[in-house]
Structure 1
């Protein structure tokens, strides 16, 4: 239009030349800090791995148990008995309770108890002075479940369901001692335990 002057510099905005833009401030030390953090994390992780390697796992603990042979030998000498325990016991059977038990109104009782895998437990109980009450006490008043032959010897099976306790009562004395195998385990495990019973050495 005549008489009108347009200032193009006011309506057009020209982008700044690349060379005229101000560079963004550099973040100093980021690369160095990240590197230090990574190194620190690696050191901590290696330390944790090393510490864990030094701590034994519960399922890998190798318990030696107690010296069954020595305790049995001392029992034979002191009581003039010939007690028995499983020989050779499987390596996963760990002797836990090996002693002579003396309860009031009960005859002295030799006990050799073993911890088995899967939280099972089996023990042999022996005495030279058995009574009916002694048998009931050792088997926890369990009910008869028939008989079984183990290496030519007859054993009576008893079971108490309330605490899942199984017992084998030997019909004839073993080396002059009434013998019971009892605990929480499968019948096959109790029978294996009974088959491994051998008299302890006295010297």
Structure 2
């Protein structure tokens, strides 16, 4: 019995000590949101928002398609400098049912103005904050657990990016289709 126990320990200990330790940084992935957005643009029909904020990290960015509700959308998860989390969701094909599904049981608690654009402010039963607005044909939903000032920062950067993408697309179309 001692030989069997010794053999088991001899096999398990090297495996245990050769595995890397896990820290908070192990799970922090910094996704290049701009690159993923450019890759998704072909399927989306527009360039999805890829806001850049200093000291923020993205742990996922994806184009979600093929769902039974028929609404395809862009989704990005951001980790804030204060260890909060905010999910950005954008679509150009929203309908009331899709919006209701995305915001869940969150109830409207007021409005919030971010850079002269009014957002619906909602509070979810699980403590999440939800902001929703429409900008240049896109519906944008921000939800998560973070300070409202961080929602303001992401909201402003997202709107700026959407508007800049619209300007660049219009310029691209006008240069590829010269008048006359």
Would you say how many aligned residue pairs link Structure 1 and Structure 2?
Answer: 145
TM-score (norm 2): 0.69
Confirm or deny that 1:84 pairs with 2:45. no
Alignment deviations for residues 143-196 of structure 1 (CA, whole Å, 9 cap, x no partner): 0010011001000000112x11111111xx323211111111122211111011
List structure 1 runs of 4+ shifted beyond 4 angstroms.
Answer: 59-64, 200-203
Q: Distance in 2 between matches of 1:159 and 1:189?
A: 16
Unaligned runs of 5+ residues in structure 2 are 1-19, 173-180
CA distance in 1, matches of 2:145, 2:31: 20
* Cα distance change of structure 1 residues 191 and 106 upon mapping to structure 2, 3 Å threshold: farther
CA distance in structure 2 between the partners assigned to 1:98 and 1:59 by the alignment: 20
Question: How large is the RMSD of aligned CA atoms in angstroms?
Answer: 2.7
Instruction: Look at both structures and tell me which one has the larger radius of gyration over its CA atoms.
Output: 1
Quick check: which one's helix share is greater? Answer: 2
**Structure 2 vs 1, CA of residues 184 and 62 (structure 1 numbering), >3 Å: closer, same or farther?**
closer
Q: 1:60 to 1:80 in 2, by over 3 A?
A: closer
Aligned residue for 2:69, secondary structure, equals coil
